[in-house]
Amino acid sequence: MRGDDRPSGAPAGEPGAARLMAYAAPALPLAILTLPFYVLVPAFYTQSLALPIAAVGQVLLAVRLIDAFADPIVGVLADRWRPSAGRRRLWVAAATPFVVVAAWQVFRPGEGAGLTHLAVWASLLSIAWTCSQIPYAAWGAELSSSYAGRSRVSAFREGLTVVGTLLALAAPAILPALGWPGERAALSAFAFAVALLLPLAVATAVAVVPEPPDLSTRQTGWREGLGHLRANRPFVRLIVAFLVNGLANGLPATLFLFFVQRKLQSPDSAGPLLVLYFVCGILGVPFWLMLARRTSKHRAWCLGMLLSCMAFLAAPLLGPGDVLVFAAVVVVTGLALGADVILPASIQADVIDVDTAASGQQRAGLYMALWALATKLALAAAVGIAFPLLGAAGFDPAAGIETPRGLLVLGLLYAALPVVLKLGSVALVWRFPLDESSHAALRAAIEARRRD
């Protein structure tokens, strides 16, 4: 039956806007949770709770290693375990209470909370988060079977992710005006928001959005499954391009505050510029969806990366006071953000069909786990590359070192190296072998295999 909000001409069974909004709803509170966990929690535990910074860093590093180790395990289990309540929805629903409780404990530690408290509850939060996020992403990958429909799914989910990020960015500036100053008040507000919004959003998604059909016709063994994974050339090509582009995005994300505060010498502009960036990201989404329909998803993504490259070329030349010029760079790269967050995720859902057609097993959980792991590796590599190079060049704000050479390297790492990396990603993706017609043939083969 066609829903009243299903796009005209879409295949039967495609979700309409109301159902997509229900599916995407958990992305907003999960995004509200992400930013403070990675940005505010380390500073809060070292400054407000007076814990040693090196020890806090070691604890959080261990938590991230646990998180990375958990990704493929959860992905495999989410594919292989087939409870009657649904192999995607049940995971998301069951993980939600653990996410809420662990986030509450991390964001609202009691008096005397120390490293053990942080280690235990941050680890639980990380594991529960993975148990929710991987099946949630797989649910979205399976929610639509059409080439264009998958872009709509990722647009709704990633659009609400950006909205949640915006709310998390704005909260530390708004809360003091409401009488809640300081990091402790901000983290408490985030804990309350997650405790209220996440269960409500997950309950809505589970109630409104159906469990996608499992298209598996057989179950592969470990060795055979790995063979199919290696043989999935579109996936290998895509994840390499995603890693390269993720590093290109991770460098400016890691260095943004340094660039604005030290290179442009305008620390008060950092918050408004970040908000401008994400607002432009939301505004650009309809354009990228339209362009992907008229060309292809991989070509539209390439054009988005090329647009970012054009804007970034000016950034290394900027200096003190060039805030308005940099704001123009932020607007253009923000508009390109929609292509980066929506289209790769949509293409990823398509390459899973390559595996399903070849192996007979639908393994969206495993593929989404590898996707999440690639994201974390790219962000970790950005820090691992940028900070040592900056230190060697003579840029270390904590030590009061800021040489002209160091500022030059800051500008090159912030914008020039990302341009080179993005061009490499474009070269990998421009002639990507999956388009709408080849994907339709894949879906036909999968359906034929099920009928047999």
Mean pLDDT of all residues belonging to the chain: 88
Q: What is the mean pLDDT of residues 400-415?
A: 88
pLDDT at position 8 over 50:
no
Contacts of 307 (CB under 8 A, 6+ apart): 332, 333, 335, 336, 339
Please write the tens of the pLDDT for every residue from 98-146. Answer: 999 999 999 998 887 888 999 999 999 999 999 999 999 999 999 998 9
| Owner of token pair 């909260």 | 171
Split at pLDDT 50, 70, 90, the class of 262 is: confident
Q: What is the pTM of this model?
A: 0.88
Split at pLDDT 50, 70, 90, the class of 21 is: very high
Residue spans of alpha helices (H) in 317-416? 323-359, 364-393, 404-411
Q: 221-452: same fold as 18-212?
A: yes
The dihedrals phi and psi of 3, each to the nearest 5 degrees, come to -70, 155
Please write the tens of the pLDDT for every residue from 43-91. Answer: 788 877 888 877 887 888 888 888 888 999 999 999 888 777 778 999 9
The domain spans of the chain are: 18-212, 221-452
Q: Which of 11, 43, 269 is nearest to 143 (CA)?
A: 11
Please write the tens of the pLDDT for every residue from 328-363. Answer: 999 999 999 999 999 999 999 999 999 999 888 889
Compute the distance between CA of residue 284 and CA of residue 145 in angstroms, rounded to an integer: 24
Q: Which helix (H) or strand (E) holds 402?
A: strand 401-402
The dihedrals phi and psi of 15, each to the nearest 5 degrees, come to -70, 140
Name the fold adopted by 18-212: Growth Hormone; Chain: A; (1.20.1250)
End-to-end CA distance of the chain: 25
Per-residue confidence (pLDDT) for residue 34, from 0 to 100:
85
Stronger pLDDT, 35 or 362, i.e. the higher one: 362
Per-residue confidence (pLDDT) for residue 102, from 0 to 100:
96
Options 1.10.1660.10, 1.20.1250.20, 3.40.640.10, 3.40.50.1970; which CATH number does 221-452 get?
1.20.1250.20
